[in-house]
């Protein structure tokens, strides 16, 4: 039996079948969230206050940090409430808001990572023309395109998802309101929604990832043509942090949105979903700061230290 009216709310099951795991996850998620707030806020401060970081790469990095702050804040507080206590409900309006923002920000990150790969491609393959090609106006335009595509994706996909005839139990087998989990909750025909999600996955996941791979293929060829080993290390060092972030984010998102239909894949998908919702926003600032001398030097300048790390 399907409920064709809007439900009062949903039950986010998450990992409720593993109550002991929930307490451990509560501590892990809370610590990760605090690190996310600290790390990404620090990058935003450094990118804003330090004139030496006024460059396209750090402009895009500050966009990514702001996005990660919003991304985690959309889902983590509700997740912590569900993990800590027996109440695992979310109102229909709350689910709508969470799904809309979560999907918009996730889409924006997919596009933004492709934009950052293009920035690295121009920096390595066209270094003499970098300032001419990647000028401030283009940076703002590319960032705006990423945010607008994310907004459009939510406007297109969220309303049909929440208009589905949901089963009366309203139990969402996930820890957040996501499109795949809500489609599984439906007791009606979901062919249109599944086709829509598949098409969106191609444009939002496959196309940007393909552009990233093409960019890094060109970067790899350019790096191999550099004669000195020091020059190759320096060129690779400018891209390695972004490449690690891309690998972590896209591998977990693909595991959620392109997974086969079986109970094992769904259970595994929840862990991958938890990782890209909580893990990658925590790791991103660590990856960019620990592997980036300019960011570390900016941090010491912010603290007023004269001694800078080599």
pLDDT digits (tens, 9 = 90+) for 132-162: 999 999 999 999 999 999 999 999 999 999 8
Is 90 exceeded by the pLDDT of residue 17?
A: no
Query: Per-residue pLDDT averaged across 182-204, rounded?
Result: 88
Alpha carbon 10 to its chain centroid, in Å, reads: 24
Is 80 exceeded by the pLDDT of residue 293?
A: no
- The first and second tokens of residue 148, run together, are 């607008």
DSSP alpha helix (H) spans, the chain = 19-49, 56-84, 92-125, 130-133, 136-162, 179-185, 191-201, 207-224, 229-257, 263-274, 280-290, 293-302
Query: Per-residue pLDDT averaged across 191-208, rounded?
Result: 90
Lowest pLDDT segment from 28-37, 102-111, 185-194: 185-194
Q: What is the pLDDT of residue 259?
A: 67
Q: Output Rg (C-alpha) for the chain, integer angstroms.
A: 21
Is 50 exceeded by the pLDDT of residue 285?
A: yes
- The first and second tokens of residue 48, run together, are 């804003």
Is 90 exceeded by the pLDDT of residue 118?
A: yes
Percent of the chain surpassing pLDDT 70: 92
CA gap 63, 56 in Å, rounded = 11
Q: What is the pLDDT of residue 181?
A: 85
Percent of the chain surpassing pLDDT 90: 33
Q: What is the pLDDT of residue 229?
A: 77
Beta bridge partners of 89: 11
Per DSSP, 12 falls in state E
Model confidence at 290, pLDDT cuts 50, 70, 90, reads: low
Which of 33-37, 179-183, 262-266, 294-298 has the highest mean predicted lDDT (pLDDT)? 33-37
Q: What is the pLDDT of residue 263?
A: 59
Q: What is the pLDDT of residue 266?
A: 66
Q: H/E/C letters for each residue in 29-47?
A: HHHHHHHHHHHHHHHHHHH
The chain-wide mean pLDDT, for the chain, equals 85
Q: What is the pLDDT of residue 139?
A: 94
Model confidence at 238, pLDDT cuts 50, 70, 90, reads: confident
Model confidence at 7, pLDDT cuts 50, 70, 90, reads: low
Give the tens place of pLDDT for each residue, 44-95.
988 888 888 888 988 999 999 999 999 999 989 888 888 887 778 888 888 8
Q: What is the pLDDT of residue 309?
A: 47
Alpha carbon 212 to its chain centroid, in Å, reads: 15
Is 50 exceeded by the pLDDT of residue 112?
A: yes
Query: Per-residue pLDDT averaged across 226-253, rounded?
Result: 82
Is 70 exceeded by the pLDDT of residue 304?
A: yes
The number of beta carbons lying within 10 Å of the beta carbon of residue 290 is: 10
């Amino acid at each position: 039996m399907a409920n064709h009216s809007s439900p009062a709310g949903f039950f986010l099951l998450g990992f409720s079948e593993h109550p002991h795991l929930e307490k451990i996850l509560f501590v892990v998620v809370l610590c990760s969230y605090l690190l996310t707030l600290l790390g990404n806020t620090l990058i935003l401060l450094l990118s804003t206050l330090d004139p030496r970081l006024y460059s396209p790469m750090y402009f895009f990095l500050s966009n990514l940090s702001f996005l990660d702050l919003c991304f985690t804040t959309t889902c983590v507080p509700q997740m912590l409430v569900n993990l800590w206590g027996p109440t695992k409900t979310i109102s229909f309006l709350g689910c709508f808001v969470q799904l809309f923002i979560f999907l918009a920000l996730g889409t924006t990150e997919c596009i933004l990572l492709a934009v950052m790969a293009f920035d690295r491609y121009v920096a390595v393959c066209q270094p003499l023309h970098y300032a001419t090609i990647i000028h401030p106006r283009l940076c703002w335009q590319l960032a705006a395109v990423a945010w607008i595509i994310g907004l459009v994706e939510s406007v297109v996909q969220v309303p049909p998802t929440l208009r589905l005839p949901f089963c009366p139990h309203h139990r969402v087998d996930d820890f957040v309101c996501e499109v795949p989990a809500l489609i599984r909750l439906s007791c009606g025909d979901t062919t249109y929604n599944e086709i829509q999600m598949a098409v969106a996955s191609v444009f939002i996941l496959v196309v940007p990832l393909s552009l990233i791979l093409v960019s890094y293929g060109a970067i790899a060829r350019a790096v191999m043509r550099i004669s000195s080993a020091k020059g190759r290390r320096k060129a690779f060092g400018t891209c390695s942090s972004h490449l690690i972030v891309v690998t972590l984010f896209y591998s977990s998102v693909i595991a959620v949105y392109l997974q086969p239909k079986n109970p094992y894949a769904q259970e595994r998908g929840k862990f991958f979903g938890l990782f890209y919702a909580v893990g990658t926003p925590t790791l991103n600032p660590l990856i960019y700061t620990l592997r980036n001398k300019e960011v570390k030097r900016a941090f010491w300048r912010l603290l007023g230290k004269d001694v800078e790390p080599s």
